Structure 1
Amino acid sequence: MRVDANEFFRQAAVRICGSLDVETAMRDCLEYIKDYIPAQAMDMRIFVPGADVLKSVASVSLDGFADHDGLIPILPEGRETPLTLWENMEEVIIINRPGEDHQVRASLHLMGIKDQFDFSILAMRLDLQGRRIGNLGVRTRGTDRYLPEHAKLLRLLREPFAIAMANAIKHQEVVRLKDLLDDDNRFLRTEMRELAGADIVGSDFGLREVMAQIRQVAPLESPVLLLGETGVGKEVLANAIHEFSPRRNGPLIKVNCGAIPDSLIDSELFGHEKGAFTGAASRKRGRFERADGGTIFLDEIGELPPQAQIRLLHVCQRHEIERVGGSEPVPVNIRIIAATHRDLKRMVASGAFREDLWFRLNIFPVSIPPLRERKEDIPALVHHFMESKARELKMRARPVLPPGALDRLAGYGWPGNVRELENTVERAMIRSRDGVLVFETPRPEDAVSGANPDLPDEGRFLSLDEADARHIRKAMALSRGRVNGRGGAAELLGLHPNTLRKRMSRLGIPFGRKAPYPKLWTGKHETR
């Protein structure tokens, strides 16, 4: 039968490239070429160095013809190694009587095929851009089935089959990496769920009522507003809400609203289109898009600028966003957890926070008590931090508490709350001597008295700015005037250093060289 080579190539290539699934494409091609080339099975294989075997990438068969999809060993021959045999393979090899070919017969014996030699093989090497990537095998029932003209026709399809095989190998690698990522994510989610239940120290004591509220609201879709001073553990409780919710398998995206410059906050939260502004070289997904199907935690929600508040209100109302520079709305399926240490109600009254957004977020407020109001949690927190910090610091043995240490810690005001206690324990472990913790002795002026900590000595109720200024001064005193770094005032207060400096400037609190705090000597220069 005379075959139009161009038409044969065009029809076969269309089928090879007609599906993203390589086995579907191979089956379609096999159905077509069997009218021109005897073919009832087809496979693609790669060589595995070291193991000296051919491994199947994809295989198909028709009419129930046996499909040899296992590993095919390549045996050395004379001075030729399996690798050189593979690399020096001819373009197309015809094997009409496999039972009489010593190399093929020995390989089939190793595969457990000893007497079933009634088939013919047509094997073609596949190269792409000068690099050997694999081979294509075509088989059919019966011996002496292949002629030179069949090999010539199959040779026409070398390039389309090579491209299809390269794509199949890349796809399998992507699937493998995706499976590894999914497995890692499952492991991390399991750990997070365990941490959400185990690391909320005080859930049976000082935080008992808070945890009851968390368990009540977590299974729902309602927004949650976490209220409490800096350092009380709002992020830990946000983790718990997410892990106790039906969205636990989705992402939990955390945003510190006070740490993002006003000029970038729209792009960070809602994303931007390519060319939306100078430097926008490509489209970028914002935090809300990344949280789709899960939860977004907006920490320090009171720091959002007015324009971002308007866009957040739009998200709450319509469950969609618009990227900066975009014109089409992007739907998002998210749950919002917001947190702040500020008095949002007073901010609404002063016009600093939108009233309609406040009503949207204040559906289920959860107030977290400061550490000074739940002193019964201090022993458990101290022991918890000793365990975790010992692992972080790679200590062979956990230091012990000196007598009276817990009493002294319980007598301190803890303006930085749990975060300050954590830093105090870490400093004590670093300074430990002979296996005993060394705590800095709390100063008398910082000890808890019976007076309301929010009232000055004369009993007048503090304004919000006065309370902020007093709290910041305490943090600066604890850090000895240092804003940045571990143990700095910004870390104690849970703020970005630039945000803290901006707030201190507004409140008239000196920092840097103007600050009246004792300077830290680093051995080279004084530092703030």
Structure 2
Amino acid sequence: MTDDKTFFHQATMKICGSLDTDKVVRKCAGYLSAYIPLEGLMLSTYEPEKGAIRILALSATVSTAPWDKPIYLSAEAQAILAEMEQGVSLRRQAENDPIAHEFSHALGIAPFPTIVLHLKLDEKKLGVVIVFSTNENAFTDEHIRLMGLLHDPFAVAMANVLRHRELLRLKDLLADDNRYLQQELRYLSGDEIIGARYGLRNVMEMVRQVAPLASHVMLTGETGVGKEVIANAIHYTSSRRDGPLVKVNCGAFAENLLDSELFGHEKGAFTGAIRTKRGRFERAHGGTLFLDEVGELPAAAQVRLLRVLQDGLVERIGGLEPIEVDVRIIAATHRDLTKMVKDGSFREDLWFRLNVFPIHIPPLRQRKSDIPALVHHFIDRKLKNFNLYEHPVLAPGEIERLSTYAWPGNVRELGNMVERALIRHQSGGLNPPLCFDDLKTDSSDTSPPPLAEPPPNRLLTLTLDEVMRRHIEAVLRLTNGKIQGKDGAAAILNVHSSTLRSRMNKLGVSFGRRRVIQ
């Protein structure tokens, strides 16, 4: 006959050998059946906030109903369960026990005599282990004693299982939140970049060329032209779109913090490093890292970045082992890196590594044809932010005024100007036309002069398509972009709405939901 020590050791190996509760209960039932005449073994936990018992695993020779749902108890059964003594006990009169009766009814079996082992760890109730048999006289005091020996291994196993399930639940929540945030980012980015068919046509063609590849990209252009939005477009049209898009402004961190931000650090690597931190490169593994204002990188960070680009390895500050990363770099700057290389303030070898596929984004003053669509987009977006629903009408000649401005702040400046105009519009009485009164005061800049456009008295020099395009745009401004309906552009022009859209596509007049560069 096996002694208690051997019994405890062998049973513990079965109980604590896996986090798969079905496997554990199945093996335990098989082992314990040699010592206890059981016909079923069950592991369950109680959820007091729901007043329900949840079966974690069940192994039985008798047929039972599906048990994947919680078993809700009556108020009487809950009260008895709350006052039930801890430890191990034999419950013979199961048919008179509300808990056993409700439990058995949910499983579709008759109430059987049971040995109940209450599990407790660090004064916290975890659940119970139940063995049962159809034989009313199957269990003896010796069987109860043997089950009592297994309290600690069952309690440890139950605690591990519950923690493991909680980790899996949190992991699923995190994955779901990540999917939701990715969808929100794509929604906010819109379906199409404004200017993709006009002022940014060449830029978008280059985006389409490079996005499917793994090549690093360098985005150049003045502040406010929309480098970050182009980076979004490259990432979300690439094979890495399901991976992370991690962004870091290289000029936003002090030199002594940038290394930690990019490459991470180990616990205790420096004063204040109270825990291990993953850097942006590790977080971007399998996706894209957007390095904005890369020209601001200090010399030390440039050296470490060069190694990552060469070897695909990062080392945390204070770390001993290199970490392999698979990251695509999209760098952006408004500075002249070629000049910085000549001056020695930017490493030439790093410049060549980053400048694999350069894309220059033109300033707004060089793509004036995008201004009407941008203005309407900003109006729609700002109204939504302000929780306003009444779309203001633009004052006559405002688009022409905007088109003659040099826009030193580019699309970002245009967005700010639209927001200021809407703020003033809300206090201007009964639905006044929208005006950009501060346009003149903002025009004292040294930017290159705007591209000249034909004045009204030279309309005869325009092509027929150009005249039609301008007229359609003027009508669309009058209707605030509305095409269908009795007050839409199609009705004013006396054409069918589908005919008008077809003509707009042919002439390059944008309509519908657009994505903005800023």
TM-score, structure 2 length as denominator?
0.79
Q: Where does residue 361 of structure 2 map in the other structure?
A: 368
For the residues of structure 2 that align with 1:365 and 1:424, how far apart are their CA atoms? 30
Paired residue secondary structure (1:94): strand
In structure 2, how many angstroms separate the alpha carbons of the residues matched to 1:32 and 1:65? 20
1:246 aligns with 2:239: yes
Alignment match, 1:31 = 30
2:104 and 2:33 mapped to 1: Cα distance? Answer: 28
Aligned residue for 1:43? 42
2:90 maps to 1:94: yes
1:443 aligns to 2:440 (yes or no): yes
The equivalences for 1:65-76 within 5 A come to: 66=64, 69=67, 70-75=69-74
- Whole-Å Cα distance in 2 between the matches of residues 394 and 340 of structure 1? 35
Q: What residue in structure 2 maps to residue 481 of structure 1?
A: none
- Report the counterpart of residue 491 of structure 1 in structure 2: none
Among residues 102, 106, 128, which one is paired with 1:111 in the alignment? Answer: 106
Any idea what the Cα deviations from partners look like across 1:113-167, whole Å, max 9, x if unmatched?
3xx5385432222222333332222234544321221112112222322232233
Confirm whether residue 59 of structure 1 aligns to residue 73 of structure 2.
Answer: no
| Distance across 2 between alignment mates of 1:35 and 1:295 | 58
Pairing of 1:138-287 with structure 2 (within 5 A): 138-198=131-191, 200-287=193-280
Contact (CA 8 Å) 1:250, 1:294: kept in 2 or not? yes
Q: Take 2:31 and 2:442, find their aligned partners in 1: how far apart are those partners?
A: 90
Pairing 1:133–2:126 present: yes
Moved more, 61-70 or 123-132: 61-70
Q: 1:217 and 1:7, CA in 2 relative to 1: closer, same or farther beyond 3 A?
A: same
Task: Name the CA distance, whole Å, in 2 between partners of 1:320 and 1:105.
Answer: 60
Residue of structure 2 in register with 1:465 after alignment: none
Q: Does 1:18 align with 2:7?
A: no
CA spacing shift, 1:274–1:36, aligned 2, 3 Å: same
> Residues 171, 438 of structure 1: CA spacing in aligned structure 2 closer, same or farther, 3 A cutoff?
farther
CA gap 1:71/1:453 in 2 versus in 1, 3 angstroms:
closer
Letter paired with 2:140: L
1:393 corresponds to 2:393: no
2 CA distance for matches of 1:317 and 1:168? 43
Distance 1:7 1:330 in 2: 45
CA deviation profile, 1:253-304 (whole Å, cap 9, x unmatched): 1011111112222121111223322222332211111111111000111111
CA change 1:424–1:148 in 2 (3 A) is same
| 1:380 shift after superposition | 1.0
Q: Secondary structure at the match of 2:159?
A: helix
Once the two structures are TM-superposed, the CA of residue 29 in structure 1 deviates from its matched residue by 2.6
Q: Secondary structure at the match of 2:81?
A: helix
- Residue pair 1:219, 1:246 contacting (<8 A) in 2 also: yes
1:127 is paired with a residue of what secondary structure? strand
Q: Give the conservation status (yes or no) of the 8 Å contact 1:41–1:67.
A: no
Residues matched between the structures, number: 445
Q: Is the 8 A contact 1:292 1:332 kept in 2?
A: yes
Q: Distance in 1 between matches of 2:268 and 2:122?
A: 36
1:107 maps to amino acid: E
SS of residue paired to 1:337? strand
Taking the aligned partners of 2:274 and 2:367, their CA distance within structure 1 comes to 51
Confirm or deny: 8 A CA contact 1:41 1:65 kept in the other structure. no
- Residue 338 of structure 1: aligned partner: 331
Moved more, 331-340 or 132-141: 132-141
Two-structure CA RMSD over aligned residues (Å): 2.8
Contact 2:81 2:99 (8 Å CA) reproduced: no
Q: Which moved more, 1:149-158 or 1:139-148?
A: 139-148
> What secondary structure sits across from 1:264 in the alignment?
helix
TM-score of the superposition, structure 1-length normalised?
0.77
Q: Distance in 1 between matches of 2:125 and 2:275?
A: 36
Supply the distance in 2 between the matched residues of 1:42 and 1:95 (Cα, whole angstroms).
15
RCO greater where, 1 or 2, for CA within 8 Å and sep 6 or more? 2
Answer whether contact 1:268 1:286 (CA < 8 A) is retained.
Answer: yes
Q: SS of 2:265's equivalent?
A: coil
Output the CA distance in 1 between the equivalents of 2:380 and 2:190. Answer: 17
Amino acid at match of 2:376: H
Contact kept? 1:41, 1:138, Cα under 8 Å: yes
Residues 66-123 of structure 1 show CA distances to partners (whole Å, capped at 9, x for unaligned) of 47625445345xxxx322211122333434574x44636742674373xx53854322
Please tell me whether residue 427 in structure 1 is matched to residue 420 in structure 2: yes
DSSP 3-state at the match of 1:259: coil
Q: Is this contact kept in 1: 2:92–2:114, CA < 8 A?
A: yes
Unaligned runs of 5+ in 1: 455-528
- Pair 1:53–1:255, CA change in 2 (3 A): closer
What is the alpha-carbon distance in structure 1 between the residues aligned to residue 10 and residue 296 of structure 2? 63
Residues in 1 aligned to 2:21 and 2:169: alpha-carbon distance in whole angstroms? 16
Summarize the Cα distance change of 1:101–1:379 in structure 2 as closer, same or farther, 3 Å threshold. same
Q: How big is the shift at 1:32?
A: 2.2
Among 374, 379, 397, the alignment partner of 2:372 is 379
2:77 maps to a residue whose letter is P
Distance 1:311-1:158 versus aligned 2 partners, 3 A rule: same
Structure 1's 446 and 93: CA in aligned 2 closer, same or farther, altered over 3 A?
same
Change (3 A) 1:363 1:440: same
Instruction: Name the % identity.
Output: 49
**Pair 1:284–1:362, CA change in 2 (3 A):** same
Residue 83 of structure 2 corresponds to residue 84 of structure 1 = no
C-alpha distance in 1 between matches for 2:103 and 2:416: 68
- Structure 2 residue matching 1:297: 3-state secondary structure: strand
Equivalence for 1:5: 4
Report the equivalent of 1:320.
313
**Which has the higher mean CA deviation after the structures are superposed, 328-337 or 180-189?**
180-189
Match of 1:469 in 2: none
Q: Which letter does structure 2 place at the counterpart of 1:8?
A: F
8 Å CA contact 2:43, 2:58 repeated in 1: no
